[in-house]
Chains A and B, each alone.
Chain A
């Protein structure tokens, strides 16, 4: 398995290289540059600025310079956020994005898993139908609709439950205070909760009808032991293979959620950077996202092999 992991890691390098190269040149073909302004700068100043950022050199030279710096972990200066390097901006934003993303994944797997199991255990009952229709809503109604509506309910109108004020802040980060975390994490997790619940229900139903579960039941094991010790292990496998798409979904969703709630993560940098033609910032964020997706996919595959003894990565 170790050699398989190494092989996959090595295979990730060309993928990353393709992504970097493609985005680099795509951004350079784009009309307009980072220093286009309403008011034209005097030519000497414009020339000096471009020289300072190596933008006066031919594109292929810029590319070589960029790759060389990137290999040393230097992503260059941000063109628009003056006095900040891309490394600094990402170092600021990454923990925030990672925290929200991880919490959402945990929530999605935990809540979605439990809901799916409940629906499977009470198949074709009211519980099943209500869980599945809520899941359908979670899948079809996009994040950017759910987000504003939840903000409206919990943030703007505010709610009082048994005399407690449960209203939540409509946005901001506030150093990662729990109250500021709840809404963004919930909104980001909801579609994934829905998918996880559907997958979990499907595989659980299938497993519960299998022969070995019938054997366990015939042995006289309690329902709890059957579900948790016997059925769950097999039923969780399709979920593990869904981890990859789930991770991609959370990362994509973070673009909207960070914008919506004004969270200082790297997703916001990406959209702003793309609109401002802040080449280096966009490239930097993209490299992080791509690396995260590739690494987490690899982890999911390895986890699958650990959980399912029939899967062997022999080569």
Chain B
């Protein structure tokens, strides 16, 4: 016998149906990303490094530029090799550098600057690249051809060389370093965004916006740009490590961050000079940098898999 359905039961079912939320593309992507173990571990590790870099120096016993000539190039307390020249004592957990500064606090300061360079340079490249690429792709025709030909010409210029000259000229200006690296990285971004724009602009919603009387730049920035963000965000996660590498490359050549400020590139350079007698000076900054770069690459790969419609 079938029990008659009461109104209350119907209402309850209906309410439950309303509670079920649809999954957007980004929800799906986030789920897939978090299921990717390498990417998840990378996100957590990167978070730990970032928090340590931002807050760590406040809790450490030594300022980053505190020079102590009684512990020059000293090993940390727990260093396994007994043949080291001197021991820095219990509070220098990473040992000390060639003028007796605490290496842990310097590594964390280096992390601050390297991460800041990575993020700001990426932001610069993102802004230029997205604006340029979306404009070229949306306008199309001769303007597009001209704009992309300009990018082609810039592509064949050996950039890092120009950045080196720039850094020499402007006396290793801190701010310019960000801009110079960002200005190098925007070309690929522009190409990616243009390609995406070309396919997005054929869609109906663009036509609808145009029919609704939205202007060209309104369409580009309100309707096109938000819809090309998938591939862009993947490329952003790969641009950050590339920028960090570029900064450390310049710093390694002595053209980047200036003492007493420091970055991973500077620390690695100092460490490489003394690696025979004080290998910890190379190992710690190099390990931090390598882990960070690994993390960004894994997150980039994870995001690509998460956003790639081919896998669905």
Contact = CB atoms under 8 A, between A and B. Distances in A.
A95 B307 CA distance: 47
Contacts of A148: 271-272, 275, 282
B173 to A, nearest CB: 12
A290 B162 CA distance: 11
Nearest to A144: B252
Contact of A145 (B156, B160, B286): B286
Interface in A270-288: 270-271, 274-275, 277, 282, 286
B62 interface: no
Contact of B158 (A14, A142, A282, A293): A293
A248 B158 contact: yes
Given A23-B162, A274-B164, A289-B158, A139 B297 contact: yes
Interface in A132-156: 136-137, 139-142, 144-145, 147-149, 152, 156
Nearest to A292: B158
B164 A271 contact: yes
B156 A297 contact: yes
A270 B297 contact: no
A155 B241 CA distance: 30
A26 interface: yes
A43 B157 CA distance: 40
B103 interface: no
B253 A271 contact: yes
Interface string B270-285: 0110011001001000
By CB atoms of chain A within 10 A, which of B166, B168, B171, B245 has the most? Answer: B168
Interface stretch (B26-34, B115-123, B219-227, B288-296): B288-296
Nearest to A290: B158
A23 B294 contact: no
B169 A26 contact: yes
Interface in B240-275: 241, 245, 248-249, 252-255, 265, 268-269, 271-272, 275
A180 interface: no
A100 interface: no
A45 to B, nearest CB: 26
A152 B158 contact: no
A140 B294 contact: yes
Contact of A15 (B156, B161, B255): B156
Contact of B290 (A14, A141, A282): A141
A274 B165 contact: yes
A23 B275 CA distance: 36
Contact of A144 (B158, B170, B272, B276): B272
B153 interface: yes
A179 B282 CA distance: 25
A140 B171 CA distance: 29
In which size bucket is the chain B interface?
Answer: 35 or more
B284 to A, nearest CB: 12
Contact of B168 (A30, A141, A260, A297): A30
A215 interface: no
A286 B157 CA distance: 10
A294 B160 CA distance: 15
A5 to B, nearest CB: 15
Contacts of B279: 152
Contact of B169 (A29, A140, A144, A294): A29
Nearest to A22: B162
A156 B278 CA distance: 13
B158 A252 contact: yes
A27 interface: yes
Nearest to B290: A141
A6 to B, nearest CB: 17
In the A-B complex, the 6 residue pairs with the closest CB atoms: A30-B169, A140-B293, A148-B272, A144-B252, A274-B168, A145-B286
Interface of B: 153, 156-158, 160-162, 164-166, 168-171, 241, 245, 248-249, 252-255, 265, 268-269, 271-272, 275-276, 279, 282, 286, 289-290, 293-294, 297
Given A152-B275, A274-B255, 8 more contacts: A141-B286, A144-B269, A144-B272, A145-B290, A148-B282, A270-B161, A271-B164, A277-B168
16 contacts: A15-B153, A15-B157, A22-B162, A23-B165, A29-B169, A137-B290, A142-B289, A144-B272, A149-B282, A149-B286, A248-B158, A255-B253, A277-B168, A289-B158, A293-B156, A294-B156
